[in-house]
Chain A
Amino acid sequence: DAGVTQSPTHLIKTRGQQVTLRCSPKSGHDTVSWYQQALGQGPQFIFQYYEEEERQRGNFPDRFSGHQFPNYSSELNVNALLLGDSALYLCASSLVGQEGGWSTEAFFGQGTRLTVV
């Protein structure tokens, strides 16, 4: 049973460029959340997708956008990259539970290390 897979594992981009990161959720999961983990910090919630729509969003600018496909996979797009966007980007998948909540645990991928130079 494949877990959450993310691609690419590492990426180097130049300031001002745009980047797309990809995530395939764990089999059977229908919800994908994205997190940014800066060096020495805990992961910070960016947004969450369910039924191909953004359902919740953290405190991130509109330069961060996403998409979810019918097969539940997801993309994270970041435009006009800044040096401060350098971080580990984590994708987590889960299953919507009762009352629109989620399962009691989220499964994380190994992350994409983005370096902006």
Chain B
Amino acid sequence: DQQVKQNSPSLSVQEGRISILNCDYTNSMFDYFLWYKKYPAEGPTFLISISSIKDKNEDGRFTVFLNKSAKHLSLHIVPSQPGDSAVYFCAARTRTGANNLFFGTGTRLTVIP
């Protein structure tokens, strides 16, 4: 039972344009959401997070939007850079399962120079 879903396995974007990565979830008990970035042969690296009490969080070029009614979140990268090319994982946790992250299957972003 996949509680966190990333329905786009891949995305290609031109350098300088906006990248939008999407994530859907089914568990209404999730209260915290995270995005991780993963390069080949490396572990996932934390990128940005958002609490369920917010609908937007911004950190430099990265912004995460949360739509609780739709159980949907998205990661916007503006402007996209070739170094952003990686696999992006959406993850979520519940209040009681703070140490148990549920991950999506990932979206491979390719930024074309």
Contacts and interface: CB of A to CB of B under 8 A. Distances in A.
Interface in B49-108: 49, 89, 91, 97-106
A108 B103 contact: no
Interface string A77-117: 00000000000001010100000111011111111000000
Contacts of B101: 33, 35, 43, 45, 92, 106
Given A43-B89, A102-B98, A110 B103 contact: no
A41 interface: yes
B43 A90 contact: yes
Nearest to B45: A108
Interface in B7-54: 32, 34, 36, 41-46, 49
A25 B39 CA distance: 20
A41 B41 contact: no
Interface string A41-59: 1111100101000011010
A102 B99 contact: yes
A99 B4 CA distance: 25
Contacts of A107: 46
Interface string A25-48: 000000101010000111111001
Given A33-B99, A48-B100, A56-B97, A42 B43 contact: no
B44 A108 contact: yes
A110 B41 contact: yes
B99 A55 contact: yes
B43 A108 contact: yes
A58 B45 CA distance: 22
B43 A94 contact: no
Interface of B: 4, 6, 32, 34, 36, 41-46, 49, 89, 91, 97-106
13 contacts: A40-B105, A41-B105, A44-B103, A45-B100, A56-B100, A90-B44, A102-B99, A105-B46, A106-B46, A107-B46, A110-B42, A110-B43, A111-B43
